[in-house]
Structure formats: structure tokens, C-alpha cells
Amino acid sequence: MREGSSNRRNFGMTALLLFSALLGASPAIAQDITTSLVDIHQGSPLSDRARSLGHGGYELQNGSWVSFNRWYHANWVDMHVDLLTQITEDTGILWGFGTGEKGEKYRIEPSLKLGFITQMHPNSNSTLSLSLTSTFGGSLQEKPCQADYGDFGTYSVNCRLAASQMAPEETLKYLVNAKPESLHVWLNYRVSF
């Protein structure tokens, strides 16, 4: 089975469970549902990784310098928005999205975050919280270049390795294809004095 279809099935199951929980909420609880902004930020570890691919360059046969920087620069950096929809006093749905980002030689896909948070109070001055979130999409994919090797022809290559001693087809193995952290579990115990 392909990984993409597994992710879509997991997303469908998660969405179904959350929808069922919403429908099962009493009318009094449903009226108290509120959504709050938890976090908004630009950038991510994958954005940083894309930026790091822009370091360096190589010299062409005619002596001119080709910098990688313009290939791995984006006018818009991946923005993430995280929200919390409170269902009961102690339970909520965590959700959000990432806009994605695109440079000349890479792309970060848009993403969707979905999860839940719950808390309980072991005693009057302590709180135990558990949250679980899963991210769908948001992968970083590096694009190849077409390189002209003169008498040897034109080949699809990894842009950063086009001037290396490797055979053009070998360089394609080193294209970056990275996924974001897809599952995050957070457990917190807080005591007030």
C-alpha cells in the first residue's frame, strides 16, 4: 500500500472521530464551543533546510559564477497558524495549517495539523495535560536542473552537484525529499503552590 493512501485514511479516521465527538456533545456544550489562536509564525526546520541548500555555488566553463542562493530563496516563507477549539472545559481540538513555500529549485507543500488536548486534575492544585497532533503534507521536495554538458548532451541533474565528478544520473539520488515531524505528543504536569 502506498504511504499517501495510508495518510489519507488516517486523516479520514481522525476527522471522523472528531466529527463524531462534536455531534455527541450536548447542546449546552455545543453552545460554549470557542476557537482561539494559539500560535502564528513563519519558518520551520524544513524552511531552514531549504535555505541551507542555497550556500555555495560553482564556476561554469566560461568562468562565470553560479550561486545557489537565488535557487533556494523564496519571497514567501512557510507560515503556520495553530488554533484550539475548546469542546469542554478540559478537552479541545488542536488544528491548524501551513501555507507552504516555493523557490526556483524547491517546494514545501502546504500542510494541515490536526489533534486534541485534554487535561485532568489529580488534586485541587495540579493539572495533568496530554496533547497529540499529527501533520499531513508539508514535505520539502528539491527540483532537478537541466544541465548542458556540451558534446556529451543535456541531462537532468541535481543542481548543486552538476559540476561534481559524479555521473549526471547519480546526482539525482541526492535531491532532498524530506518530511516534517508528523506526530507530536506532549505530556505536562503542573503544580500550583
pLDDT in tens, 160-184: 998 888 988 899 999 999 999 989 9
Q: Residue 81 domain-assigned? A: yes
Amino acid, single-letter form, for residue 23: L
Measured distance CA(115)–CA(45) in Å, rounded = 20
Confidence of residue 22 (pLDDT cuts 50, 70, 90): very low
Q: Residue 182 domain-assigned? A: yes
Confidence of residue 109 (pLDDT cuts 50, 70, 90): very high
Cα–Cα separations (whole angstroms), residue 177 to 18, 32, 73, 140, 174:
31, 43, 17, 6, 9
17 pLDDT above the threshold of 50: no
Domain ranges, residue 81: 3-139+178-191
Q: Residue 36 domain-assigned? A: yes
16 pLDDT above the threshold of 50: no
State the pLDDT at residue 31.
Answer: 54
- pTM for this structure? 0.74
State the pLDDT at residue 94.
Answer: 96
92 pLDDT above the threshold of 60: yes
Measured distance CA(136)–CA(121) in Å, rounded = 32
Q: Quick one: which of 109, 114, 64, 107 has its CA closest to 84?
A: 114
Q: Residue 103 domain-assigned? A: yes
Q: Residue 11 domain-assigned? A: yes
Q: Residue 32 domain-assigned? A: yes
Average pLDDT, the chain: 84
Q: Residue 144 domain-assigned? A: no
CB 98 within 8 A of CB 79: yes
pLDDT in tens, 69-81: 989 999 999 999 9
Q: Residue 151 domain-assigned? A: no
Confidence of residue 114 (pLDDT cuts 50, 70, 90): very high
27 pLDDT above the threshold of 50: no
| Structural domains in the chain (count) | 1
